[in-house]
Amino acid sequence: MIRDKNLIDQLAFFQKVSLFQGLTDEQIKKIVNTMYSVEVASREVITHEGAHEDTLFILLKGEVEISKRLLMPLFEGSVDKQEKSLIRLSEKNYAFFGEMTLFEDKPERSASVTALSACKLSVLQKREFLGILDQNPEIGSIVFKNIATELTRRLVKANKDILKLTTAFSLALEGE
């Protein structure tokens, strides 16, 4: 992984990321100045489901796949290799992920993220993020509203997916 701190030149990109909607350029710069970028190779795992990390990622370039294990481990230390792809994201989506770790005391990744192509990601550490929000409550209010909006959107989609799966499962059981 290659690290780079110079992200301000990409301000136009960050303005399109829903995480920053409603913020002024100066407010976005305060956050971006605490971030760094990493480059990852194609097929490299960016983060693993279950990992204890506290970083948010913004996809600047490339394409990633977010996946979850199909089965939970049966016993401590066992790992099931079967994974289900949940979604693919590219820089065209102005995507961010890992935001749930910002709200937990002992964060644990809920999914794995793998680079499908060479990627460039912007990384925001929880400590730096919370420091900015403590010093700038207005930024915090806007960003937390944006995160809540995104989480709500994802929850609505998950609920629809669960309903489809439950319906299919019920129909399959009736057919037996």
What is the separation of C-alpha 92 from the centre of its chain, rounded to a whole number of angstroms? 15
Q: What is the DSSP string of the chain?
A: -EEE---GGGHHHHTTSGGGTT--HHHHHHHHTT-EEEEE-TT-EEE-TT----EEEEEEESEEEEEEESS--SSTT-----EEEEEEEEGGGT-EE-GGGGG-SS---SSEEEESS-EEEEEEEHHHHHHHHHH-HHHHHHHHHHHHHHHHHHHHHHHHHHHHHHHHHHHHHHT-
CA distance 84 to 2: 29
Q: Give the pLDDT score at 79.
A: 57
pTM: 0.79
Q: How many CB atoms lie within 10 A of CB 150?
A: 16
Which tokens hold the place of 119? 């990627």
- Is residue 31 within 8 Å of 20, Cβ to Cβ? yes
Which tokens hold the place of 106? 């002992």
pLDDT, mean of residues 10-35: 93
CA distance 18 to 70: 30
**pLDDT over threshold 80, residue 36:** yes
Which tens digits make up the pLDDT trace of 19-29?
999 999 999 99
The CATH architecture of the domain made up of 2-174 is Sandwich (2.60)
Which tens digits make up the pLDDT trace of 61-120?
999 999 988 765 555 555 556 777 888 999 999 999 998 888 888 888 889 999 999 999
- 174 Cβ neighbours under 8 A, 6+ residues apart: none
Percent of the chain with pLDDT over 90: 51
Tell me which amino acid residue 106 is. K
- With vertex at residue 33, the alpha carbon angle to CA 55 and CA 148, rounded to the nearest 5 degrees, is 45
Tell me which amino acid residue 32 is. V
